[in-house]
Structures are given as C-alpha cells and as structure tokens.
Amino acid sequence: MEAPAQLRRNRLILVALWFVFYGSFTLFTPPLLDDADSVHAEVAREMLLRHDWVTLYANGIRYLEKAPVFYWSEAVAMSLFGPTTAASRLPLAIAMLALVLISESFARRAFRTPRAGLYAGLITLSSFGMFIFSRINIPDIMVCLWLVIALYAFYLTEQPEHAGPEPSGPRSLSLGPCLLFAAACALNILTKGLIGIVFPVGIVLLYLLITRGLRGTLTRLRQLHPASSLAVFLLIAVPWHILIALANPTQGHPGGVAFLNGHWSVPLPTDGNVHGWTWFYFVNEQVLRYLNLRVPRDYDTVPLALFWGLCLIWLMPWSAFLFHAVARALPIRTAAFRQRLRTKTLTNQERTDLLLILWAAIPLLFFSLSTRQEYYVLPSLPPLILLIAAWLAQRFADSGRAKQHRASSLRSAGALALVGLCAAAVCLYLILHTKAPSQDTDLASLLQQNPGDYALSFGHFLDLNARAMGLFRLPLALTAISLGGGLTLAWYLRRPRYQTGFESTYVHAANLVIAASAFLFLFASWLGLRTFSPTLTSHQLAQAIAPQLHQQDLIVLHGEYEAGSTLGFYLHRNDLHILEGRSSNLWYGSFFPEAPKIFETRDSLAAKWPGPQRIFLWEDPHDPDRPILKLPQPIYVIANSGGKYILSNQPNHP
C-alpha cells in the first residue's frame, strides 16, 4: 500500500476508535462524580454565569488554586451545548484526539515507519490510565497534550531538514518549531501552573547538556530564536496572571511564612485577613504544595514504590513491553553506545531515544521528591508510549537480531498472557461464586467503607468486596474475555511456527489483537464505573429533588462541598450552604470579605429547620467525622442513593 494511503487509513482507524470510546456514549454516562469531576464543571458553569473569565469561582466563592485554560475550554463547550455532562467532558475528549494524532505523527517521523505511528495512536487510545483519567474532569490530559506538542516541536529543531543555511557563524533554525515550543509551554503554564514550563525546559536543557556539553548547549540555545520565543511565551502566559493578581489583592494582615523552632510555619487566614492570589497561587499552591507544607492539608500522597509502579498499571496491557522498549532506547551496557555518549557523538536516532527517556524520567523524579497523586504519572506516559510503539514496530535486516527480538517479544507476550489468564480466573471465580443482587439493590449497602483511603483519587474503589461484585458480573465477564482470551490469542500468534514467511503479518496481527483486547477491557471498565458511580455521585439525589426545588429553598450539605458537589452543577445552584465543611476547595476563598455567608453550624440549622423556608439537607450517615444531626421534628426522607440521603423539613408536594 502506498505510504499516503496507509497514512490516511491509519488516521481514519484512530479517529474512528477515538469517536467510539471517547467521543460518543462515554461523554454522557456515567454522570459527573462528586469532588473534582463536578467541582471543575461547576467552576466553568459559574464562569459563564458571572461573565468573569479571570477569577474562578466555585459555589460563589473564589477558587484561586487552579490555572484557567481547562475551565475556559469547558466554559466554551457549555456556551455551545449547555451546562451538561457531555459538554463538560468534551474538551478532554478533543484533547485526547489531538494527543493521539500528534503522537502518531511524532512516532511515525521519529522511527520512520507508519506502523510505529499507528501503534503509538493505538496505545494512547487503549491504555487504561489515559482512558480513565479522561473520564474525570482534571486538566492532566491537557498537560500531556501541551508537553507532547512542545517536545515534538523541539524534536523537529533537532532534525537536519529544519536547519537553515549557515553562510557565516552558527546555523539558524526554522522559526516555526521554536515558536510552537514557546506557545505550548505558555498554554501548559495556563493549564497546570509552573510545571508547564519546568518540565519541557528542564527536559530540553538536560538533553542539550548531555548531547552537547555546556558550551554546545549555550550555542544551541542562541540558535533557537530565544527572543522571539520568549516574546510569544510572555504574550500568551502573562496577561491572565496580571489580571487575576490585580483582581484578587491581599486583604487585611494575613502574616507571612516563618521558620520557628526548627519548623516552617505557614500562616492560616482569618476572616478579612487573607493573602491575595499571587501568594496563594505561586507560594502556597506551587512551592508549599511541592514541599508538603500547603494549607489546607486536604490531600494524601501515594507511596513512592506504588507511584512508580503505576506506570505499569496505567499503560496496561502494553506495559508488558516497556522494559524491552526502554532497554532498546538506552543500551547503556553497550560499550560503543557509552563511548558515543561520552564523546557527544550519538546518532540522530539515539538522540531521539535519549530525549524520550529524559522526558519520561524527569516528571517521575520530580514528583518522587514531593507529594504525589495517582495521576501525576501521566506526563511520563506519552514518551513511554512512543518507546513501546518503536519497539513493537522494529524490524531488522540482520537475522540474528530479528530472532532475538522475536524471542523477547514472545516472552513478553507470554508473561502478559499469563497475567491475563490469572485475571480471567479471578473474574470467573467471582462470577461463579457471587449472587446477582436484585435490580433495586443500592451498591452502597454492599460495600465496606474505608474513609481513610478517600483522600486518594481511587480510594473509594477499595470499598469493593465479594458481596458487591455480584453487581459487576457483565464487566467481569468482558474482562475475562479480553484479558484471558485476547491476550492468549496474541501470544499464540507470535509463536515461531507462525513466523515462517509471514513474520511481519502475524506479529502485526498479534499487536492488533492486544489493542482489541485493551479496548474491550476499557469498555468493561466503563461499565464498571457506570455501575459504581451511584456511590460516587449525588446526581440521582439531584434528579429526585429537582421537581420540588424552588429558588427560595435552601440546600445544605452536611460535610465538605466536594462530597456533594454534583448537586450544585445539576441543580444549577451556586449557593449551597455548608455544615461542618469549611475546608478543602472553598476554605481559602471563604476568608475574603465579600465571600457569601454559606457556612452553617448545628445550632443555626436547627434554628432554621422549623421555619417556613423549605430545607433540603444532604446527609452521608457513613461519614465518621460528622455524626448525624439531631434536628427538630418533622424530618422527611426525600431520597436516598449511593448511601447518601436527602432530608427535608417539609414533605414533597403533589
């Protein structure tokens, strides 16, 4: 097949798969989840409501800890399609499509084969981590996108075709990739903060030092159009930072960070005495968060070994080939490679591989020294995906090296099949030894609550037990088929007796079978998330009270705003009152003088309960830190779902 036709076919395949798994049914269900998923959607909705694209707000309170690009994209989608579940998820879906297409182009150019590009796109689309974190409204998929664009642009400057003539002095480089690098860094800093520039610049500088030395690095930097690139970066990145700093100055006398008795002391705000955006965003959210001194301390950290191990989990099932891919890219045991590394004479392909290795390593090392969440691994996944794609697409003219590669591939596929068969056995055991509960069973009644784990992104899934697995029989069956059947078939296709005369065809077929298995597993994961979602969302409670709700009615959350934040988004209310939950995302902004007075006490709510105003109280009886309220009678149970309740001081009206 001609290369242009093959390229069009590959891209059509990737776009079609993206539409099925990212751009269609997964946009609409499950509903948004409580916490970050719906809080971020609500921030975008309130951006439209307030016509304020500078300062972010959540539930009417300043939300100063995040950069704006992700919320701008959500707000644009909502302005076009309304404040819906699908509109809030659309920007991440589009970001995934862009990430897939750019990864395909990067791999195809870097490894000089369309098959590497196809594999890079397939792995990006079908990796478990990339899929699951594009289901939650957090900006980290966009961070990956800007980072890929920035480093792809830098990679292009390293290619001979982008070097200009050098009639005298140092050669010049094409201006376009340099400006693209600067723009991507600016958009990344507007998406995630300082790491948006720390990562790409740190990766490039370390790469240049290793491949060129200090003097060569300085020479190269002068060739990268630094003045024009800096101008583009500042033009994109600076205006919002200036505007939001001016809009949110320091109020009162909040105090400063001090070093007392051998420990750093971070000032806590009080009503009317609060640092402005500049201190909170840069010092508290960037520097102090990295040093684990951020206030409030409302997050947990993933153990270091698990953090690194998550690379294997988020790249499932392709992580079986990761170690071989890294070993190919960094043959440090080879004397000739070490000699070229010392003498700064690496080949163009070796420099590309080194760039990808540094790209993968620096975010992991950076967060290894700081607090860590499960999704902080994501910036390291695209380069690892490119390395795996290169290894899978590798072909050799030398029969000895080809045989060695086939043997390594077969061993990796065998290990993957073994893991898949074990997982399938566990799934089949659970299917055969659990009873399917009745259709109206509330999953929360079957779970074992572990509140201590909920500070982690996936802590709630640790509540699952054997009793609850009866509700997951279909996802378990699909998982058994995908992991047990599909991965075993992929190993079978790689067996030597199928190689004679058709080696490339059968290996390619085996890789496509792994991709098909991975997509089936993603579908099973989506079904599982849909089944589990009632315990993670208050959407059903919002649906239950929406027909009865009037604008003058009061909605009270007993707990942190994040615990029931879907109520605000789905009921289009930015005035939820909070009982025993002045913390987390609303905490800092609540100390500004003009912050709405939405925080209740037990006494204030008890005083309002007998009054004429109708009150809807969101209650989680499993919250160990907030005992159930003793309120004056009458108390009506309006709805319950996912272990949570809506209580009211008045009955529903016909």
What's the first-to-final CA gap in the chain, in angstroms?
68
Integer Cα distance of 216 and 486 in angstroms: 50
At residue 168, what is the residue type? S
366 and 443 housed in the same domain: no
Overall domain count for the chain: 3
The verdict on residue 641 lying in a domain is: yes
- Evaluate whether residue 290 is within a structural domain: yes
Judge whether 34 lies within some domain.
no
Whole-angstrom distance, CA of residue 65 vs CA of residue 289 = 11
Residue 653 lies in a domain: no
Mean per-residue pLDDT of the chain: 90
Residue 68: cis peptide before it, omega within 30 degrees of 0: no
Q: What are 328-384's pLDDT values in tens digits? A: 999 988 999 999 999 999 999 999 999 999 999 999 999 998 888 889 999 999 999
Segments forming the whole domain that contains residue 555: 538-648
| Residue 467, pLDDT score | 75
Position 501 pLDDT exceeds 90: no
For residue 372, give the DSSP letter: -
Residue of higher predicted confidence among 2 and 439: 439
For 47-56, which contacts have Cβ atoms below 8 Å and span 24 or more sequence positions? Answer: 47/71, 47/72, 47/75, 48/75, 48/78, 48/79, 48/83, 49/574, 54/240, 54/243, 54/244, 54/247, 55/244, 55/247, 55/248, 55/277
Handedness of CA 38, 43, 46, 48 (dihedral sign): negative
pLDDT at 295: 77
Which of 283-289's residues contact partners 24+ apart within 8 Å by CB, and which partners?
283/257, 284/65, 284/588, 285/64, 285/65, 285/193, 286/193, 286/194, 288/257, 289/370, 289/371
Q: Are residues 299 and 413 in the same domain?
A: no
Q: Of 245, 237, 197, whose CA–CA distance to 64 is shortest?
A: 245
pTM of the full predicted structure? 0.93
227, with CB counted inside 10 A (0-12, 13-18, 19+), is exposed
Is 587 found in the same domain as 521?
no
Average pLDDT over residues 205-219: 95
User: pLDDT at position 289, please?
Assistant: 82
pLDDT at 478: 97
289 Rama sector, left if φ>0, alpha if ψ -120 to 50, beta otherwise:
alpha
Residues 526 and 554 in one domain: no
pLDDT, greater one: 396 or 34: 34
Q: Is the pLDDT of residue 37 over 50?
A: yes
Same domain as 590, residue 550:
yes
- Together in a domain, 524 and 542: no
Rounded to whole angstroms, how far apart are CA atoms 338 and 543?
64
Looking at residue 404, its pLDDT comes to 86
What per-residue confidence (pLDDT) applies to 165? 43
Confidence (pLDDT) at 234: 98
Q: What is the pLDDT of residues 536-575, one digit of tens each?
A: 999 999 999 999 999 999 999 999 999 999 999 999 999 9
Same domain, 356 and 256: yes
Using the 3D structure, point to which of 393, 423, 456 is the last residue of a domain: 393
**What is the pLDDT confidence band of residue 499, given thresholds at 50, 70 and 90?**
very low
Is 364 or 407 the better-scoring residue by pLDDT?
Answer: 364
Domain boundary among 393, 415, 431: 393
Please write the tens of the pLDDT for every residue from 82-136: 999 999 999 999 999 999 999 999 999 999 999 999 999 999 999 999 999 999 9
Instruction: Please tell me whether residues 468 and 488 are part of one structural domain.
Output: yes
In terms of Cβ atoms closer than 10 Å to its own Cβ (0-12, 13-18, 19+), residue 552 is exposed
Q: Both 526 and 544 in a single domain? A: no
Structure tokens at 448: 């074992």
350 and 420 assigned to the same domain: no
- Weakest-pLDDT range from 142-146, 287-291, 367-371, 410-414: 287-291
149 with 210, same domain?
yes
Tell me which long-range contacts 434-440 makes (C-beta under 8 A, separation of at least 24): 434/466, 434/467, 434/469, 434/470, 434/473, 435/470, 436/470, 436/471, 436/473, 437/470, 437/471
Domain assignment present for residue 83? The answer is yes
pLDDT tens figures, 513-539: 999 999 999 999 999 999 989 999 999
* Residues 141, 92 contacting (CB under 8 angstroms): yes
The tens digit of pLDDT for each residue in 182-191 reads 999 999 999 9
Handedness of CA 179, 141, 394, 329 (dihedral sign): positive
Lowest average pLDDT, out of 28-42, 391-405, 410-424, goes to 391-405
Cis peptide before 596 (omega within 30 of 0): no
Residue 458 has pLDDT above 80, yes or no: no
**Average pLDDT of span 150-174:** 71
Identify the DSSP state of 281. I
Q: How confident is the model at residue 217 (pLDDT cuts 50, 70, 90)?
A: very high
Cβ(273)–Cβ(251) below 8 Å: yes
Instruction: Say if residue 269 is preceded by a cis peptide, omega within 30 of 0.
Output: no
pLDDT bracket for residue 311 (50, 70, 90): very high
- Specify if 16 maps to a domain: no
> Is the predicted pLDDT of residue 170 greater than 50, yes or no?
no
pLDDT of residue 166: 41
For residue 261, name the pLDDT band (cuts at 50, 70, 90).
Answer: low
Closest CA to 618 of 573, 578, 575: 578
Beta strands 615-619 and 577-579: pairing type?
Answer: unpaired
Task: Say which residue the tokens 């720390």 belong to.
Answer: 198
Q: What does residue 457 show for φ and ψ, rounded to 5 degrees? A: -60, -40
- Of 416 and 172, which is predicted with more confidence? 416
Instruction: Say if CB 286 and CB 66 are below 8 A apart.
Output: no
Cβ-contact 26, 20 below 8 angstroms: no
With beta carbons less than 8 A apart as the criterion, state whether 583 and 560 touch.
yes
Residue 32 in any domain: the answer is no
The 8-class DSSP code of residue 183 comes to H
> pLDDT tens-digit profile of 58-90?
999 999 999 999 999 999 999 999 999 999 999
Helices 3-22 and 85-111 sit at what angle, rounded to 10 degrees?
150
Query: If you search the block for the tokens 């890219």, which residue do you land on?
Result: 329
User: Same structural domain for residues 303 and 234?
Assistant: yes
Residues 148, 95 contacting (CB under 8 angstroms): no
When pLDDT is cut at 50, 70 and 90, the band that residue 577 belongs to is very high
Cβ count within 10 A of residue 592: 18
- Name the least confident of 161-165, 304-308, 601-605: 161-165
- Residue 21 CA: distances (Å) to CA of 27, 130, 526, 618: 9, 12, 9, 34
Which of 393, 418, 445 is the last residue before a domain boundary? Answer: 393
Q: Classify residue 594: in a domain, yes or no.
A: yes
The answer to whether residue 418 scores a pLDDT higher than 90 is yes
Phi, psi of 164 (to 5 degrees): -85, 180
Task: Judge contact between 124 and 100, C-beta under 8 A.
Answer: yes
Distance CA 220, CA 208 (A): 8
pLDDT in tens, 620-633: 988 888 888 888 88
Task: Provide the pLDDT confidence category of residue 420 given band limits of 50, 70 and 90.
Answer: very high
Any idea what DSSP says for residue 321? G
**What is the Cβ-side half-sphere exposure of residue 353, based on CA atoms within 13 angstroms?**
21
Q: What percent of the chain has pLDDT over 90?
A: 73
